[in-house]
Amino acid sequence: MPGFELWGDAERKEVNDVLETGILMRYGFDGPRKGIWKSKELEAAICERFGTPHAQLVSSGTAALTTAMAALGIGSGHEVIMPAFTFVASFEAVLGVGAVPVLVDIDETLTMDPLAVEKAIGPKTKCIMPVHMCGSMADLDELKRIAKAHNLILLEDACQSIGATYKGKSLGTIGDAGTFSFDFVKTMTCGEGGVIMTADEEVYKKCDAFSDHGHDHLGVDRGADLHPFPGYNFRISELHSAVGLAQVRRVDEFLAIQKKNHAILKEALSTIPGMTFRKIPDPQGDSCSFISWFLPSEAITQKVIAAFKEQGILAGNFYWFDNNWHYIKKWDHLKNLSVLYPLHEAQKKALLDLKEKDFAQSDAIMSRCISTAVSLAWTEEQLKEKAERMVGVVVGILENSKQLG
Ligand SMILES: *Cc1c(COP(=O)(O)O)cnc(C)c1O
């Protein structure tokens, strides 16, 4: 899965270019930087590789979502529909701009259920935010249709699905805007970083200014820039961009390894009786950073996870249902309003309502789901051994439960 696993000379070379000049900031210092503009180069490389007219780098994926929402005019009085299975950053960004997160069920794609989205639309809905979890995609044709029919913004959180495509287009480039995260465990990394991609030049210009205190970036003297609106400091540094520049050039290498390892793992897992794989709207477009699979019941899945742990093969196997960071079940801080500063009434009400809200449909899916992260570092031998041991454990538990059964 993560590009950090193959850290090497290419990354060191790009970082060293920046260390030579000592100009660690992405803007200004035109003379002393001696033509080294890693952030600009990385933005151009992202446009080229992922097929988007505009890319704005920022300091994280969370900052990218926040910036995108600000640029799309999402804020107080608005609701953003998002899935109950995602990383906490998705709702942090919504709360950050003053909007209300409306959490809906997922389906067997492990992304938002379009039917649940349609049911959640109300007069305050402004945006639909699918999250392309674990390397693969939401049903974008359907979500696009819904967004269009209700005149809503479609913002793709593609932070976990760098390199995945839907019908030939990169995830993150299909909605009104989309984001990647380049944090340390994503498919390509900057150490920390993120990007907003959009085809809308006005949205891009707003992202550019918002992520740098509102600077219009029109002149050569930063100090003389005008500020059409206030923003934040979500700037990326040249050191981080240098790492990303080396990694974006290697992203096809990473994806090829992922696909190869994913295929071996898939073949092994498919021998387990009664198991099924995650539904993928466009199987060709899977980035293969994870393989997500379902067992027949929650009880069996819990037993398998416990046995993986006991046998020391849990590493890389994620049981999101019990995970503190990715699923509504353990988001007590959100449901209990444990926030550091006061929220406004609509936000408070929406969060308190989460306590009562029924996520049985999502529970039934997540409680039977295991996602296995696909490493770039495995040798074929290691991978086959891992797969064999995993399958052995699962088959043993299934047989056992049949006998008890
Ligand atoms: C990683 C991630 C983010 C946030 O990215 P950071 O760069 O860590 O801030 C947002 N959404 C999802 C789904 C993620 O996995």
| Dist CA 178 CA 315 (whole Å) | 30
Residue 283 CA to chain centroid, in angstroms? 18
Based on the fold, state whether residues 261 and 399 are members of the same structural domain. Answer: yes
Q: How many domains does the chain have?
A: 2
| Dist CA 155 CA 68 (whole Å) | 8
Nearest to 294 by CA among 141, 89, 106, 104: 106
Based on the fold, state whether residues 284 and 239 are members of the same structural domain. Answer: no
Cα angle 17-20-25, degrees, rounded to a multiple of 5: 75
**Whose alpha carbon is nearest atom 7 of ligand 1?**
61
Based on the fold, state whether residues 293 and 226 are members of the same structural domain. Answer: no
The pLDDT, as a whole number, for residue 326 is: 96
Nearest to 232 by CA among 97, 355, 393: 97
* Residue 405 pLDDT class (50, 70, 90 cuts): low
Overall size of the chain counted in residues = 405
Whether ligand 1 lies within 6 angstroms of the CB of 157 is answered as yes
The pLDDT, as a whole number, for residue 2 is: 82
| Dist CA 148 CA 94 (whole Å) | 21
The pLDDT, as a whole number, for residue 318 is: 97
Q: How far is the CA of 395 from the centre of ligand 1 (A)?
A: 34
* Residue 85 pLDDT class (50, 70, 90 cuts): very high
State the CATH number of the domain containing residue 344: 3.90.1150.10
* Residue 252 pLDDT class (50, 70, 90 cuts): very high
Based on the fold, state whether residues 131 and 259 are members of the same structural domain. Answer: no
Based on the fold, state whether residues 288 and 226 are members of the same structural domain. Answer: no
Based on the fold, state whether residues 148 and 214 are members of the same structural domain. Answer: yes
Alpha carbon distances (Å) from 96 to 91, 101, 337, 342: 8, 10, 14, 12
| Dist CA 315 CA 27 (whole Å) | 41
Based on the fold, state whether residues 181 and 205 are members of the same structural domain. Answer: yes
Q: Which domain holds residue 175?
A: 3-251
102: β partners: 81
Residue 96 CA to chain centroid, in angstroms? 18
Alpha carbon distances (Å) from 161 to 149, 201, 259: 26, 24, 13
Written as six digits, the tokens of 210 are: 């918002």
Catalytic site residue 186?
A: yes
Sheet containing 125-128, strands listed edge to edge, beginning at the edge strand earlier in sequence: 54-58, 194-198, 177-181, 153-157, 125-128, 79-83, 100-104
Q: How far is the CA of 130 from the centre of ligand 1 (A)?
A: 13
Written as six digits, the tokens of 192 are: 């920390």
Based on the fold, state whether residues 327 and 194 are members of the same structural domain. Answer: no
**pLDDT tens digit sequence for 336-364:** 999 999 999 999 999 999 999 999 999 99
Given 186, 206, 329, 386, the catalytic residue: 186
Percentage of residues in the chain with pLDDT exceeding 90?
Answer: 97
* Residue 123 pLDDT class (50, 70, 90 cuts): very high
Q: Which atom of ligand 1 is nearest to the CA of 160?
A: 15
Q: Which atom of ligand 1 is nearest to the CA of 63?
A: 9
Whether ligand 1 lies within 6 angstroms of the CB of 131 is answered as yes
Average pLDDT over residues 241-265: 97
Pocket test for ligand 1, best of 110, 183, 371 (most atoms within 8 A of CB): 183
Whether ligand 1 lies within 6 angstroms of the CB of 117 is answered as no
**pLDDT tens digit sequence for 160-202:** 999 999 999 999 999 999 999 999 999 999 999 999 999 999 9
* Residue 70 pLDDT class (50, 70, 90 cuts): very high
Query: Hunting for tokens 């003297």 — which residue is that?
Result: 221
Average pLDDT over residues 96-111: 98
| Dist CA 180 CA 161 (whole Å) | 8
**Whose alpha carbon is nearest atom 5 of ligand 1?**
61
* Residue 284 pLDDT class (50, 70, 90 cuts): very high
Residues 142 and 150: beta-carbon distance below 8 Å: no
Based on the fold, state whether residues 223 and 295 are members of the same structural domain. Answer: no
**pLDDT over 80 at 150, yes or no:** yes
Contacts of 234 (CB under 8 A, 6+ apart): 58, 59, 60, 63, 64, 66, 67, 210, 211, 212
Q: Which atom of ligand 1 is nearest to the CA of 186?
A: 1
372: β partners: 291, 317
The model's pTM is 0.97
Nearest to 160 by CA among 178, 141, 147: 178
Contacts of 177 (CB under 8 A, 6+ apart): 68, 71, 72, 155, 156, 196, 197, 198, 200, 203, 207
Whether ligand 1 lies within 6 angstroms of the CB of 67 is answered as no
**pLDDT over 60 at 276, yes or no:** yes
Average pLDDT over residues 315-338: 94
Based on the fold, state whether residues 233 and 286 are members of the same structural domain. Answer: no
The pLDDT, as a whole number, for residue 404 is: 74
State the CATH number of the domain containing residue 203: 3.40.640.10
Strands 290-294 and 369-373: antiparallel
Pocket test for ligand 1, best of 159, 195, 328 (most atoms within 8 A of CB): 159
Residues 69 and 271: beta-carbon distance below 8 Å: no
Whether ligand 1 lies within 6 angstroms of the CB of 90 is answered as yes
Average model confidence (pLDDT) for the chain? 96
Upper half-sphere CA count for residue 209 (Cβ side, 13 Å): 19
The pLDDT, as a whole number, for residue 1 is: 57
Average pLDDT over residues 280-288: 98
Among 195, 221, 251, identify where a domain stops. Answer: 251
Based on the fold, state whether residues 74 and 164 are members of the same structural domain. Answer: yes
Provide the terminal-to-terminal Cα distance of the chain, rounded to the nearest Å: 38
The pLDDT, as a whole number, for residue 341 is: 93
Among the residue ranges 41-55, 95-109, 213-227, 354-368, the one predicted with the least confidence is 213-227
The pLDDT, as a whole number, for residue 402 is: 83
Among 251, 280, 297, identify where a domain stops. Answer: 251
Among 251, 280, 310, identify where a domain stops. Answer: 251
Instruction: For 328-363, give the DSSP string.
Output: GGG-HHHHTT--SSPPPHHHHHHHHHTTT---HHHH
Contacts of 110 (CB under 8 A, 6+ apart): 85, 133, 134, 136, 278, 292, 365, 369
Based on the fold, state whether residues 126 and 201 are members of the same structural domain. Answer: yes
Residues 72 and 127: beta-carbon distance below 8 Å: yes
| Dist CA 103 CA 125 (whole Å) | 12
Q: Which atom of ligand 1 is nearest to the CA of 185?
A: 1
**Whose alpha carbon is nearest atom 15 of ligand 1?**
160
* Residue 220 pLDDT class (50, 70, 90 cuts): confident
